[in-house]
Structure 1
Amino acid sequence: MRIRIDLAYDGTDFSGWATQPGLRTVQEMLEGALATALRVPRVRVVVAGRTDAGVHARGQVAHCDVAPEVLAASAGRSRETALEALLRRVNGIVAPDLRVRRLSEAPDGFDARFSAIWRRYVYRVADDAALVDPLHRHHVLAWQRPLDIEEMNAAAKPLIGLQDFAAFCRRREGATTVRTLLELSWERDTAGRAVAKVVADAFCHNMVRSLVGCLLAVGDGRRPPAWALEVMTSRVRNPALTVAHAHGLTLEEVGYPADQELARQAQLSRTMRELP
């Protein structure tokens, strides 16, 4: 059976999601805890979106495949359901900066990565000394220049849609940089911080932080709003473009279609995207 895993983590002390030899990663910790709780040598987990070192997640989604008899045996004589018992045991094994919020039997066709239709990230910036809270230093970027939200939104608007984001991505061999950016907008939260909402069907490596870095340069007056579109249409990395620090970024939510569309979406997502 396939198990859907809803989880959250503080990325401060993790070297990103993906397992790396000798480094503390979310995948390594989660897979190890699942294997221990299920009493099996190894569990392989597939995630909706691989986060970089220092990036946080509040609404990350993953899946793993487990034989039903293995799951049942792991629960022992517990009065809980097998998934409830597994959830309790896994959260008793992982460190406090990782928390599995829910385990559920996934519907037919579900793939945490390929069935997703969008991912929503939020980037938080304190651009006034009065807004900088030491208690939030690992989750909010402190910026020493005031930001103009209207200018940032004007710069962001032309980037929305099906585009080649090669200028905002770290290229990977054989991977496309074509993405559909569904939303890129800035607003002030109730505390007065500048908050970017970034939603796309998928993201390539460093894309969100590069977009944020570009718009911060516009917001503090170092670049005009038209610069963002100039960067994108060049389709090459601009040395003047700064990738924003990881700690201001949080994966908030992953969206999926109706159950009957999961398998079809997974198939579509595996198709290499190109511009028309």
Structure 2
Amino acid sequence: MRIRLDLSYDGTDFHGWAAQPGLRTVQGELAAALATLLRVPSVDLVCAGRTDAGVHARGQVVHTDLEDPPPPEVLVRRLNGILPADVRVRRAAVAPVSFDARFGALWRRYAYRIADRPEAVDPLVRGHVLAWPRPLDLEAMNAASQLLVGRHDFASFCKQREGATTIRTLDELSWDRDAAGVAVGTVRADAFCHSMVRSLVGCLVVVGEGRRPAAWAGEVLAAEARSSSVPVVHAHGLTLEEVAYPPDDELEARSLQTRAKRVRDE
């Protein structure tokens, strides 16, 4: 039976999502909890987004195939009784066999939070909000952001992996302030490559400080090569907020489409 799990976690003490020998990871904790609950040697898990070390999640989605699992509400209660406090399963549901947490997703939405004013720096949320010593011009950052939206080769903002494409469709990139005055960047795309969001934010922070004009973001994108002038901001300001999926009758088609290698639009 295919089961969908929606979970949240504080990434502070994790070495990312993916299981790694000798390191504490979200996948490792969840797989161990499921194995304990179901009394099986191991459990395979597939997630929507393999978050890096220190990155948080409020809307991570996972699927797993289980034999004779307990009812969803019982599964949630028992898992949360085993899991450490920095990981919570928010919901469990029986999913169609065509549901794939990774390849079936339409988009992932992240938020990056920056406290760039003294009155916005709250020690109680320091593990989730980046404290920045200089004020940022969100109007300039939004102007630069619009140059990055669309289907592009984001090689300038990604750590290249052999054989992997860096072409992505960035649907939304925008900045606003929340009620506490924290600058919140919303980043939504069909998928992200390694360190992409943190590099995009690093580029926009340079613009927000006035060290580069908004047009510079477009120049960085067009170069299609990593540059030391683009900082990669700290992981702890980043949270995976939401993952969206199509209706059940479109899941299989979406998975096939996603598995096809992305190409640049002509």
Tell me how far 1:212 sits from its aligned partner. Answer: 0.3
Structure 2 residue 259 is the aligned partner of structure 1 residue 270: yes
1:144 aligned residue: 133
Structure 2 residue 147 is the aligned partner of structure 1 residue 158: yes
SS at match of 2:165: coil
Counterpart CA distance in 2 for 1:203 and 1:152 is: 20
Matched-pair contact (CA < 8 Å) for 1:108–1:263: no
Tell me how far 1:104 sits from its aligned partner. Answer: 0.4
Counterpart CA distance in 2 for 1:21 and 1:230 is: 40
Counterpart CA distance in 2 for 1:85 and 1:131 is: 40
What amino acid maps onto 2:117 in structure 1? D
2:244 aligned residue: 255
1:64 aligned residue: 64
Counterpart CA distance in 2 for 1:152 and 1:203 is: 20
Matched-pair contact (CA < 8 Å) for 1:31–1:43: yes
Most deviating of 244-253 and 82-91: 82-91
1:78 aligned residue: none
SS at match of 1:179: strand
Most deviating of 85-94 and 14-23: 85-94
Note the residue ranges of structure 2 that are not aligned, 5 or more in a row: none
What amino acid maps onto 1:109 in structure 2? S
Counterpart CA distance in 1 for 2:72 and 2:91 is: 9
Counterpart CA distance in 2 for 1:9 and 1:147 is: 28
2:11 aligned residue: 11
1:40 aligned residue: 40
Tell me how far 1:18 sits from its aligned partner. Answer: 0.4
The correspondence of residues 104-253 of structure 1 with structure 2, limited to 5 A, is 104-253=93-242
1:102 aligned residue: 91
Matched-pair contact (CA < 8 Å) for 1:108–1:259: no
Q: Summarize deviations over 1:73-98 as a string: whole Å, max 9, x none.
A: xx4xxxxxx22222211111110000
Q: Summarize deviations over 1:86-120 as a string: whole Å, max 9, x none.
A: 22111111100000011100124110000000000
Matched-pair contact (CA < 8 Å) for 1:5–1:62: yes
SS at match of 1:159: coil
So what's the TM-score if we normalise by structure 1? 0.95
Q: Summarize deviations over 1:220-276 as a string: whole Å, max 9, x none.
A: 111111111111100000111100100000000000011110010001100000103
Structure 2 residue 52 is the aligned partner of structure 1 residue 52: yes
Give every structure 1 segment of 4 or more consecutive aligned residues whose post-TM-superposition deviation is greater than 4 Å: none
Tell me how far 1:203 sits from its aligned partner. Answer: 0.2
RMSD: 0.8
So what's the TM-score if we normalise by structure 2? 0.98
Q: Summarize deviations over 1:30-66 as a string: whole Å, max 9, x none.
A: 0000111111111000000000011000000000001
Matched-pair contact (CA < 8 Å) for 1:38–1:86: no
Counterpart CA distance in 2 for 1:149 and 1:107 is: 42
What amino acid maps onto 1:142 in structure 2? A
What amino acid maps onto 2:36 in structure 1? T
1:25 aligned residue: 25
Note the residue ranges of structure 1 that are not aligned, 5 or more in a row: 76-81
SS at match of 1:146: coil
Counterpart CA distance in 2 for 1:23 and 1:2 is: 28
Counterpart CA distance in 1 for 2:219 and 2:16 is: 31
What amino acid maps onto 1:40 in structure 2? V
